[in-house]
A and B are shown apart, each in its own frame.
Chain A
Amino acid sequence: MVSAITIATNVLMLGALYSLVAIGFTLIFGVGGVLNLSHGAIITVGAYSAYAVDAATGSIVLGAIAAAVISGAFSLALYKGLISKVRHNPVTVLILTLVVAIVVEQLMLVIFGGEELLVPQLLDGSITVLSDSIQLNRILVFVLSWVLIGGLFYFVNRTRTGKAILATSMSDKGAALVGIDSEQVYSYTWVLAGALAGLAGLFLASFQTANPLMGRNPLLLSFSIVVLGGLGSIRGSVIGAYLISFLDQMTIQFLSERLAGVSALVVLVLVLLIRPKGLFGRELVEE
């Protein structure tokens, strides 16, 4: 029997990682009303950026910086170049972001090939907790993810720009009335979401591998997490991420690893049927 500590580590670490991905997804939806299907592709961009920079320089720290910067820039370019022009047409947005996701996958396939690529761990080695060994890399990913999540909460709730983002997500007309440049706020949001997804891509690749289709599962999971937590709610995303990661690990450990990801889809369907607004839906408007 696999020990409770092992399962708990997996749940905690994956929950943090899923949160990073889902927060970006929900931010873009909450603030701009855009359902970004290329969010998973940005994860791939992050992982491959880190891989390429690490391969060129031998430094995974530079790789991590590249993952954040290149993904953030890519996300911004995506918004400025495509989405901002069609933002008010949800169907066009869906089609365009889906196309971008597929193009990114194909580009990675052509440039890097279809093989699984190895991205070095941020930290080698492991420690023993109650006779179970836990990789330091997993602990670091957990800690870094929480630092980023904490930083984001602080940013949104305490800084002027963050408050502007929050205000825009409540009502862009209201925000405009008090002098907030909503276009600028959208740009901030896309950069932020892109950078978070890019880092999540690096983290994911550091304990699995990088491949051109690696963004698909996280995108599907994000959907479930964000719908469960309530579209647009950051707090809901974090809680949703942990619920989903817990359910997923339980399914894998006690049923079969073949069902990985299935529990998330079941949750997605149930929430849509029973409580479409999710756990924390519309919190921003009510608060």
Chain B
Amino acid sequence: MVNNNNGSRRSNGSRTNSALGVNRRSFLRATGAGAVGTALAGCLGGGNGNGNGGGGVPDTVTIGALGPADSPMGDSILKSAELAVSEINDDGGIAGADVEVSTKDTKDQPGTTREVYQELTTGENVDATVGIFGSESLLSIMGNIAQQSTVHLTAGAATPEAPALVEENYDRNKYWFRVGPINSVFLGESQVQFAADRFEEMGWEKIAFLAEDYKWTEPITNDIQSQLEEEAGVEVTEVRRVAEGTEDFTPVYDQLESDEVDGAYTALAHTGTTALVQWAQQQRPFGFGGIHVPTQLPSFYEATQGAAISTFSQTTATANSEVTEKTVPYADAYQEEYDSLPVYTGYSAYDAVYMIKEAIEATESVNSDDLVSELEGMSYTGTGGNIEFFGPDGRFPHDVRYGADYAQGVYFQWQADESGEGHQRVLWPDDLEEAEYQSPPWA
């Protein structure tokens, strides 16, 4: 597990001014400088408020990584950022400069996220930040990202409210980008697409949609029922938003069972494990899957002692799916370094660090405005697909584009081999398909 001491750790540090070592005076000086910088930026209508000047590349480029260290999603962000930075340093750094990464534990709490983001940007003067995970946490720092005028590349949070803010006030919010996953409007579209392409052969004619009551699922559940019915031709018995903290799913499943559904189509991230385990233990006679973040974890099958069998989920990439030529080498390098496989947030965080590198090298500058212009025009083949952002006038400004030519994600299913070991096998899209859908062993 991630080192949790004081919520901060560093690696590849050629310097030692850790967050913990910042004394009160230098902190005040840094905050003061940040405030002055921001005030000036306000007057000049832009500019880098992080104290790293108006151009050129410093001796050391510092990247901040944010994520809930106790959760596998955050852990993957922090480790992937460290992995990318270590690879970049081994390969000569960024434009000749050493790279440092400073990782912070957000504890998946908006308040903590804001605190540690401030530490990174005012205390440590990082040149850019990556990561986050929770949409609630991301939204809590959108104002700070604007204020600090420091480029942020999100990995993990799926809310479309962030690009809406960029659209609303481009000059203020343009420092925000999302590398992955695709936003939840696209996640919904992807679920409809998957249903249209696969439900018939899966035998899913009648389904219920289960979404957890969090911000990120709102765009999905808004019109998923009519879309599934019209575009995929399935009967949707209900779209149920399950409250946070639901511990007993028995009544929910009783209802689904009495409605005789073929499957529970899900949008679950924070609350998914309890739902899945109870579905498996109760051997409910319907399938289970859709977007299910816990089941994306490569260790999930073993951790649930096989309860994950036959559950499926959308994800950015799996460790053995060749989404691009970089996917498998990244997963292998991660495995070698940390003795485990990354989850979806890791792919995006890793790509994000490399995109910052490309942008700095292309502009020969760490100036935020230069980086923003460069990122807007960038087309980068990463581990999770061909990453391009919507332009300022696009449908979702600065959000990652979705589609077969861009980032699309895969749907995989947990299937057991002869020895009973679980594997994530890709079901969709066609060009990456490894296996056909299998019903739960008891259904």
The 8 Å CB contact of B273, one of A116, A135, A249, A257, is A116
- Could you tell me the distance in whole angstroms from the C-beta of B296 to the nearest C-beta in chain A? 13
Interface segment out of the listed A1-9, A18-26, A93-101, A153-161:
A1-9
Contact of A2 with B278 in the complex, beta carbons under 8 Å:
no
Name the residue of chain A whose CB is nearest to the CB of B273. A116
CA distance A192 to B255 in the complex (A): 38
In A225-260, which residues have CB < 8 Å from any B CB? 249, 252-253, 257-258, 260
CA distance A114 to B109 in the complex (A): 14
CA distance A257 to B303 in the complex (A): 28
Residues of A within 8 A of B277 (CB): 116, 118, 208-209
Contact of B243 with A258 in the complex, beta carbons under 8 Å:
yes
A126 CB within 8 Å of chain B = yes
- Could you tell me the distance in whole angstroms from the C-beta of A12 to the nearest C-beta in chain B? 13
A84 CB within 8 Å of chain B = no
CA distance A258 to B212 in the complex (A): 11
B281 CB within 8 Å of chain A = yes
Contact of A118 with B304 in the complex, beta carbons under 8 Å:
yes
B250 CB within 8 Å of chain A = yes
CA distance A253 to B255 in the complex (A): 9
Contacts A120-B305, A253-B251, A257-B243 given; does A115 touch B71 at CB 8 Å: yes
Name the residue of chain B whose CB is nearest to the CB of A204. B247
B421 CB within 8 Å of chain A = no
Interface residues on B, range: 20 to 34
Contact of B258 with A2 in the complex, beta carbons under 8 Å:
yes
Residues of A within 8 A of B250 (CB): 10, 207
A137 CB within 8 Å of chain B = yes
A109 CB within 8 Å of chain B = yes
Name the residue of chain B whose CB is nearest to the CB of A134. B282
Contact with B along A192-218 (1 / 0, CB 8 A): 000000000000000111000010010
Name the residue of chain A whose CB is nearest to the CB of B244. A258
Contact of B242 with A257 in the complex, beta carbons under 8 Å:
yes
- Could you tell me the distance in whole angstroms from the C-beta of B118 to the nearest C-beta in chain A? 24
The 8 Å CB contact of B258, one of A1, A120, A257, A260, is A1
Contacts A114-B70, A118-B303, A118-B304 given; does A260 touch B274 at CB 8 Å: no
Name the residue of chain B whose CB is nearest to the CB of A135. B282
- Which of the listed residues B250, B274, B294 has the most CB atoms from chain A within 10 Å of its own CB? B250
Residues of B within 8 A of A182 (CB): none
- Could you tell me the distance in whole angstroms from the C-beta of A15 to the nearest C-beta in chain B? 14
Contact of A209 with B274 in the complex, beta carbons under 8 Å:
yes
B430 CB within 8 Å of chain A = no
Residues of A within 8 A of B303 (CB): 115, 118
Interface residues on A, range: 20 to 34
Contact of B248 with A208 in the complex, beta carbons under 8 Å:
yes
A121 CB within 8 Å of chain B = yes
Contact of A109 with B70 in the complex, beta carbons under 8 Å:
yes
- Could you tell me the distance in whole angstroms from the C-beta of A52 to the nearest C-beta in chain B? 14
In B246-291, which residues have CB < 8 Å from any A CB? 246-248, 250-252, 254-255, 258, 273-274, 277-278, 281-283
Name the residue of chain A whose CB is nearest to the CB of B281. A121
Contact of A3 with B304 in the complex, beta carbons under 8 Å:
no
Residues of B within 8 A of A90 (CB): none
Contact with A along B222-248 (1 / 0, CB 8 A): 000000000000000000001100111
Residues of B within 8 A of A120 (CB): 305
Contacts A118-B305, A208-B247, A208-B278 given; does A6 touch B242 at CB 8 Å: no
Name the residue of chain A whose CB is nearest to the CB of B241. A258
A113 CB within 8 Å of chain B = yes
- Which of the listed residues B248, B252, B303 has the most CB atoms from chain A within 10 Å of its own CB? B248
Contact of A257 with B283 in the complex, beta carbons under 8 Å:
no
The 8 Å CB contact of A116, one of B70, B72, B242, B274, is B274
Residues of B within 8 A of A257 (CB): 242-243, 246, 248, 251-252
Nearest 3 A/B pairs, CB to CB: A116-B273, A258-B243, A2-B254
7 extra interface residue pairs, beta carbon distance < 8 Å, beyond A3-B258, A209-B273: A3-B254, A114-B70, A114-B71, A115-B273, A126-B282, A208-B247, A208-B248
Which A residues form the contact surface with B (CB < 8 A)? 1-3, 6, 10, 109, 113-116, 118, 120-121, 126, 133, 135, 137, 207-209, 214, 217, 249, 252-253, 257-258, 260
